[in-house]
Chain A
Amino acid sequence: MRRFFAAALCAVLACGLAACSQGGEQSADFYAMDTTMNVTAYGKGAKNAVGEAQTEVDRLESLLSRTRTDSVISQLNAGTANRAVGMEVWDLLSAAEKYSIATNGAFDITIAPVVSAWGFTTDHYQVPDQSELDELLANVGSVHIHLGEESIVTLDDGTQIDLGGIAKGYASDCVEAILAKDGVESAKVALGGNIYVRGSKPDGTAWRVGVQDPENSDGFVGILSLTDAFAVTSGGYQRYFEQNGKRYHHIIDPATGYPAESGLTSVTVVAPGNEEETISDPGHGTMCDAFSTALFVMGEKKAVEFWRSGGYDFQMVLVTQDGRVLVTDGLKDKFEQEDGSGYAYETISRSPS
């Protein structure tokens, strides 16, 4: 009998131990980088991590925002003289250049003045003249950014940069580092449309992340079951304006200066969580953010070629204008098709069939 009680006591203590390690759910909702953000973490370290994450995002916004006049980026844009931007920004610009080259310019942080010409920065929309666009396009291209020694960066005259297409991705990498540092094993982070999930949910199942159907606001094209992964979606179906019956969305093709007409309605890029951070290789969050925009601009054929080239470790979901959903084979087991969505689902394999 005594042994029974001893065993019972052990069980209660074990439950207590398990419960302590729960710590419950800690969550923060806030606005930053021109979007809504949510950081939810579980277990010990959650409380610290959530607070630190919010502080970190605010810090990055002050550093990188194009609209804050005192940010490093704004100062860089304001003057063309050589400027020391600090290692963090220099590394990020270096990554942006790498992605720009890898995607043949489909991803380009110098597209900023063109995006502004369309009015997407100020929300006062207009269709720019072709001559205005031609003039602005002359200053677009990663060749106009010069990365020098000791974090010095020089921009050519007329070139302006906007890190909007990569900042949230980079922020998600930074938040991941904080979660790792604080020993959080289960968390869900949504920085605008940039999702990062850490571990699995507290009940041990994978995080379920829905991929919005561009044509139907009520529905998803499918649901991803993810653990330890970054996921970012780009699409032109929410941020756009209409003029003379034509719709103009906010993802500008750097080659034409016009909203990209690539035959895709949305692109979702998925990559595993960061294992180690190396200076020359930015985090996967940054990569997903950059690639989701780039692949949307590139269109189906080039996107599939790019993925097949195997240079970068990611998976993707492409939704096409002609009603197909293409999923790379690495996601096959993690992608739950949505019945009744009306799409034709296809798997993209590594070698062309």
Chain B
Amino acid sequence: MKLTTKQLTLCAVLTALALALSYVENFLPLSLAVPLPGVKLGLANIVTVFALYALGIGQAFLILIARCTLGALFAGNLNALLFSLLGGLSAMAIMALLSRSKCLSVYGVSIGGAAAHNCGQVAAAVLTLGNTAPLYYLPLLLGVSLFTGALTGFAAGLLFRALEHTSLMKA
């Protein structure tokens, strides 16, 4: 996969954006409204879904790996790497699949991504704890993902519409 300088720069900017979104998320604690462990808005998925459509799966993948690794390093918490990688990779895999379908809008893709993200994080929790207790939260988390997925889909939609006619998206 060869990247032009422009593409590389765009990847870097998107990685930074995803990191910033993950950080900002902490100031909008969804856990106040929904008392579940690991519940969050998942704003970084906006970047993932954007990259999937705009840049293709290869570059979206790179951005995801970079974002998760750097995020864990900055937080000083390597334990969190497993959670964010499994969540992010699951989300991307599902969204890559769903995005191929011509019947779905960015909303459907994002909801699928949010649901998959939660599944990935619960899987990470099960692996860490060595028991199946985290599975109890998954049904509720999945319910919440309908809303967070719709939200990130909406935000991503705004992004696409805004950039539609810019030079960014032209050769």
Chain A residues within CB distance 8 Å of chain B: 1, 3-4, 7-8, 10-11, 14-15, 17-19, 21-22, 24-25, 42-43, 185-186, 200-205
A201 and B83 alpha carbons, distance in the complex (Å): 12
Q: Judge whether A42 and B65 touch: CB under 8 Å.
A: no
Contact with A along B52-74 (1 / 0, CB 8 A): 00000010011001001100100
Contact A205 B128 (CB under 8 A): no
Nearest neighbor of B79 in chain A, beta-carbon distance: A202
Judge whether B128 and A14 touch: CB under 8 Å: no
Q: Determine whether the beta carbon of B38 is less than 8 Å from that of A203.
A: yes
Does B65 lie within 8 Å of A203, measured CB to CB? no
Smallest Cβ-Cβ distance to B65: which chain A residue? A11
> B38 touching A7 by the CB < 8 A rule?
no
Given A4-B58, A19-B82: A205 in contact with B129 (beta carbons within 8 A): no
> Which residues in B have their C-beta under 8 angstroms from that of A43?
79
Give B residues with C-beta under 8 Å from A.
Answer: 1, 37-38, 58, 61-62, 65, 68-69, 72, 75, 77-83, 85-86, 89, 121, 124-125, 127-131, 134
Distance of A15 Cα from B125 Cα, bound (Å): 14
Q: Which of A3, A8, A17, A22 lies in contact with B128, CB distance below 8 A?
A: A22
How far is the CB of A156 from the nearest CB of chain B, in Å? Answer: 52
In the complex the two chains form, what is the Cα distance from A8 to B60 in whole Å?
Answer: 12
Contact partner, B78, options A8, A21, A25, Cβ 8 Å: A21
Q: Among the listed A10, A200, A201, which residue makes an inter-chain contact with B65, where contact means beta carbons less than 8 Å apart?
A: A10
List, in ascending order, chain A residues with CB within 8 A of B124's CB. 203
Find out whether the CB atom of B58 lies under 8 angstroms from the CB atom of A22.
no
When chains A and B are docked, how far (Å) is the Cα of A10 from the Cα of B58? 13
Contact B62 A7, beta carbon cutoff 8 Å: yes
A202 to B86, CA, bound (A): 14
Closest to A336 in B: B35
Asked if A14 meets B79 with Cβ closer than 8 Å, knowing A22-B128, A203-B38, the reply is no
CB of A29, distance to nearest CB on chain B (Å): 15
Q: How far is the CA of A285 from the CA of B136 in the complex (A)?
A: 33
Contacts known (A11-B85, A202-B125, A203-B121); A21 close to B79, Cβ less than 8 A: yes
The CA of A91 and the CA of B58, in the complex, are separated in Å by 62
Contacts of A15 in B (CB 8 A): 82, 85-86
Residues of chain B within 8 A (CB-CB) of A10 are: 65
Measured CB to CB, the closest approach of chain A to B132, in angstroms, equals 13
Cross-interface CB contact of B127 among A7, A8, A19, A201, cutoff 8 Å: A19
Q: 18 other contacts beyond A14-B81, A25-B130, with CB at 8 A cut-off?
A: A4-B1, A7-B61, A11-B89, A14-B65, A15-B85, A18-B72, A18-B85, A21-B79, A22-B79, A22-B128, A24-B129, A24-B130, A25-B129, A185-B77, A185-B79, A203-B83, A203-B134, A204-B77
Q: For the complex, what is the distance from the CA of A18 to the CA of B72, rounded to whole Å?
A: 10
Q: B129, A18: Cβ atoms under 8 Å? A: no
A134-B62 Cα distance, complex, nearest whole Å: 77
Contact indicator B78/A18 (Cβ below 8 Å): yes
Chain A residues with Cβ below 8 Å from B80 are 203-204
Q: Cα distance A47–B11 when bound, in Å?
A: 41
Report the nearest A residue to B64, measured CB to CB. A11
Interface centre among A43, A200, A203 (most CB of B within 10 A): A203
With both chains docked as a complex, state the minimum distance between the C-beta of A222 and any C-beta of chain B, in angstroms. Answer: 13
Shortest A18–chain B CB gap in Å is 4
Q: How far is the CA of A8 from the CA of B58 in the complex (A)?
A: 10
Complex contact B129–A7 (CB within 8 A): no
Determine how close the nearest CB of chain B comes to the CB of A15; give it in whole angstroms: 6
A contact residues around B58 at 8 Å (CB): 3-4, 7
Q: A7-B58, A185-B79, A204-B79 are in contact. Are A22 and B127 (CB under 8 A)?
A: yes
Complex CA–CA separation, A25 to B128 (angstroms): 7
Question: Please, which residues of chain B bring their CB within 8 A of the CB of A21?
Answer: 78-79, 81-82
Bound complex: CA A257 to CA B131 (Å): 49
Return chain B residues, CB-CB under 8 Å to A18: 72, 78-79, 81-82, 85
A204 to B75, CA, bound (A): 10
Is A202 in contact with B129, judged by CB distance below 8 angstroms? yes
